[in-house]
Amino acid sequence: MTKLTTICAVLAFHLAAPAAMAATAQEIMSLYDKQSRADAEQVKLTMRLVNPQGKVRQRTINYQTKTNEQGKQNSLLRFVEPADVRGTALLTLEHAQDDDDRWLYLPAMRKVRRIAATEDNENFMGSDFAYEDIDFEELANNSYTLLKSEMVAGTDTWVIQATPTPQSRDKSGYSKRVLWIRKDNYAVVQVDYYDKKDELFKKRQATGLAEVDQSGKWRPKRQEMLNTKTGHKTEIVYEDYRIGGQISDDVFSQRTLADNR
């Protein structure tokens, strides 16, 4: 073997190494799930609801999440603006085995309402995101198939099909999802959602991905969810990501949900 051949072989091995490390769909999804979670994370969201005629309604939201004792996530979404939704909050307590606990606080009614698991496929606060879309990936609730590799915006991705297991099928609003996951950082850049008739229902795109504070966690600057049947879409812009630090456990309680109006 010549020196040039040896160098080429070594380069080929190292370039192929990331793909070899995640050869199966389940392994890729596990690495994606790990990448998407943080011990503590906070971010400000600007949400724009855009109807087919171009009319826009805008929302400002604060989001916090923290790893709980089960190694899962407790999360809080709280609306800041405009005045008619200010104080509205969604609390989610993720569980390793049982269904997640989810409560919605509506300040106008001064009421905390429990969101049942059967409502996971309903839209959240008039957006194109269902409750299940804003959850973390539940690996045990899906089976995964690696379909192919594909370039997206100049970046190599794995294309993976996620199909609800028989046990979770009735709770999901989808017959399947197709995810595009970057090979260099395991971040999702696109998701296609198919309804129960196996027809394309929604398309989600994430852009402006960047690593936050050298944490190894990659987050988008912008996401868009388009309902392909109605033409309605939801745009989200993210600002001031903070990963790490301290978030009190008291933030993730029903009492605090109603008190912080």
CA distance 206 to 188: 7
Q: Give the pLDDT score at 13.
A: 38
CA distance 129 to 212: 24
Q: Give the pLDDT score at 22.
A: 46
* Type of residue numbered 167: Q
Q: 28-259: what fold?
A: outer membrane lipoprotein receptor (LolB), chain A (2.50.20)
Q: Give the pLDDT score at 260.
A: 54
Place of tokens 């959602």: 193
CB 162 within 8 A of CB 144: yes
The CA-based diameter of the chain, rounded to the nearest angstrom, is: 77
CA distance 30 to 70: 17
Structure tokens at 206: 């994430």
Cα dihedral 17, 21, 23, 28 in deg (nearest 10): -120
Residue 211, CA atoms < 13 Å, CB-side half-sphere: 7
CB 73 within 8 A of CB 94: yes
Q: Give the pLDDT score at 196.
A: 95
Lowest-pLDDT range of 19-33, 41-55, 91-105: 19-33
Q: Give the pLDDT score at 230.
A: 96
Q: Give the pLDDT score at 26.
A: 96
Which of 256, 247, 211 minimizes the C-alpha distance to 67? 247
Report, as an integer, the average pLDDT of 181-203: 97
Q: Give the pLDDT score at 118.
A: 79
